[in-house]
Amino acid sequence: MDLGLDVAAGCKVAIDEMYGDWYRDPWGWPEFQWLSHNVGKVDVKTLLRKTSEGFGLVMPASFHLTEVPKNRLAVRPAVIQDSLSRLLYATAVASNLRQLQSDLPDWAYGWRTRDGGQFEKNRKEWASYLESFPEATDDASGLHVDIASCFASFNVERLADLVHQRLKKTASAGVIADVIRSHDALTTRSGIPQRSFSSAALAHV
């Protein structure tokens, strides 16, 4: 632990979310693998600066704008976040997951903590979600929907305020606020970063 930032927990999140990322590093982000076993070799304080809100990132989060294939030969806008701010973002959320989601009801599934303080496996969450339905009858049906532009629609200042209310002027709150504000400030993007366990956990908040 350094400034309340559990970098090992952040590495675990970063490694777990690699599979669904917009960009797949052919080497599998060896930096995250190395750091997860050598946390003490990095001085996190050198990556942070003092701000009026407590802390922020020395190097602002950067996002590479790109487009990725979608169904029916279409493309969709995407961003690729730099590896350092992504790791610190994951660390800030993972270090405070229980506190951030303190009032999350049991019926909210996925990208959350339950008993252990760490992210629950989403395959386990999906199974629990399916089990929560009443026993199906022969004429039962269901609707599977996707919220259009869900992450892009978040009010970043409202979310930053909520995070600071729950985490106060901590390093974690500052890192989260810096990252989501940097993403929201992009000229052709808005809201919070997609393809991110951390953003999904914050969406619950």
State the pLDDT at residue 52.
86
Task: Give the pair of three-digit tokens for residue 11.
Answer: 């590495």
Cα 76 to chain centroid, rounded: 20
pTM score, whole prediction: 0.92
Task: Output the CA angle 110-114-117, nearest 5 degrees.
Answer: 110
CA distances from 117 to 34, 62, 102, 198 (A): 23, 29, 11, 14
Rounded CA separation 167/169 (Å): 7
User: Cβ(188)–Cβ(65) under 8 Å?
Assistant: yes
Asked if residues 150 and 167 have their Cβ atoms less than 8 Å apart, the reply is: no
Tell me what the mean pLDDT of segment 141-150 comes to.
83
pLDDT band at 196 (very low <50, low <70, confident <90, very high): very high
Q: What is the mean pLDDT of residues 53-77?
A: 90
